[in-house]
Amino acid sequence: MNEPFRKIRIGMIGGGPDAFIGEVHRLAARMDNRFELVAGCFSADHSKSKNFGTGLGLSAERIYRTPSEMANGEADKENGIEVAIIVTPNHLHFEHAQTMILAGVHIIWEKPITSDLKQAEELERLVSSVGVHFMVTYNYSGYPMVREAKQIVGSGRLGKLRVVQVEYPQDWLATDIEASGQKQAAWRTDPSQAGEGGAIGDIGTHAYHLVEFVTGEKPHSLLADLDSFVPGRVLDDNGHILLRYESGLKGMLWASQIASGHENGLRLRVYGEQGSLEWCQETPNFLEFKPLGGSKNTLTRGGPGLGVLANESTRIPAGHPEGFIEGFANLYSDFADQLRSASKRSETVLPTVADGVNGVRFVKSAVVSSKAGGVWQSLS
């Protein structure tokens, strides 16, 4: 079989029983038949990990006790892993990634890439020195109509950008569910595991990356007002953030996990001198384009007149919904192309280790700004 069509062998760290995001990654990896899961270390409890991994069809000998054991064990195999997927709580990211990078294994990683900025910057240096490929799964950048928005902005059809607004409201942490032992809530609200950011680290980084992906602009400073509304909660569960850009663009970002009545309401609005765009994750197959003085146009995924980025990221005809899993799968497919040098598109759309570092820096700066009483903080 020709090299470009051989499946890429992957190992997973984390993502075991009761882990929502692990199954999302496994589904995304399978969707285009580009990857094969061959090894894993799914849980700190090896018995659980072994039962889970064999349930996925893996050989028991390739279910490891630790990521270090997996790196060493797979290095000796002719068919060893080429990529590691890291989907553990944030505080474990650095150690696991460092182990795999030093073993020459490429990385697919959940955000934020670390819970500490210095560690994130060290990983960026390590990735560069070793020469592995590294992708952060900012999955919303994989949606076709988000990529269409990027292409429209890049074409200049909105004119000079003036204002960008992004919001990500959820309500799943509106009450103290971590006290009941809910696993996903427990680690996300624990600073020893999540790091300095709560909602801004978990979902605010998605909103932050989405703005940069679509507009192509990076802010130079921010002002943040972070709150912990649920009594006893240490990390933020709501954040309002202002952003300033060198071009004169002004931004507003709201990330909340206590917004009662909201499920997963990520929404982006971009306003330029000649028009605006609006996209919502809960209706992801549509993009509103509103030219100044003209009629509103609803652009449809799979419909006529879209650009190459949207069309190449679309799997089925218009009217058949695509969304969350497919967005992940687009990133996986682009990463496969990058590893096989099969496409130049991946260079323009894949979130890299630099994007991951930017996300950690955003969290750090927001926390510093808020603790100082809401002052402007540099992002440089």
Domain ranges of the chain: 3-132, 140-323+353-371
Q: By 3-state DSSP, what share of the chain in percent is helix, strand and coil, each rounded to 5? A: 40, 20, 35
CATH code of the domain made up of 140-323+353-371:
3.30.360.10
pTM (two decimals): 0.95
- Structure-token match 């959820």, residue found: 170
Give whole-number Cα distances, 151 to 124, 146, 156, 252, 305, in Å. 28, 9, 9, 22, 12
Q: Which pLDDT does position 1 carry in this prediction?
A: 34
Q: Which pLDDT does position 3 carry in this prediction?
A: 52
- Give the pLDDT means over successive 10-residue stretches in the chain (380 positions): 73 94 97 97 96 97 97 96 96 96 97 94 97 97 98 98 98 97 95 97 98 98 98 98 98 98 98 98 98 96 96 95 96 95 80 97 98 96
- Structure-token match 């094969």, residue found: 36
Tokens, residue 197: 């950011």
Q: Of 247, 297, 252, 286, whose CA–CA distance to 270 is shortest?
A: 252
Helix, strand, or coil here: 150?
Answer: helix
The amino acid that residue 342 corresponds to is A
Hey, how many other C-beta atoms are within 10 angstroms of the C-beta on 352? 16
Please spell the DSSP secondary structure of 307-321, one letter per residue.
Answer: -HHHHHT--S-TTS-
Answer whether 230's CB lies under 8 Å from 143's CB: no
Q: HSE-up of 342 (CA within 13 Å, CB side)?
A: 13
Answer whether 117's CB lies under 8 Å from 133's CB: no
The amino acid that residue 245 corresponds to is Y
For residues 105-131, b (16+ Cβ closer than 10 Å) or e, as one string? bbbbbbbbbbbbbebbeebbebbeeee
Q: How far is it, in rounded angstroms, from Cα 72 to Cα 369?
A: 43
Q: Which pLDDT does position 62 carry in this prediction?
A: 98
Q: Of 97, 101, 61, 79, whose CA–CA distance to 9 is shortest?
A: 79
Q: How far is it, in rounded angstroms, from Cα 310 to Cα 142?
A: 9
- What sections of the chain are H helices per DSSP? 20-31, 46-55, 67-75, 93-102, 117-130, 144-155, 183-188, 191-194, 199, 205-215, 308-312, 324-339, 346-349, 353-371
Residues present in the chain in total: 380
Answer whether 10's CB lies under 8 Å from 35's CB: yes
CATH code of the domain made up of 3-132:
3.40.50.720
Helix, strand, or coil here: 156?
Answer: coil
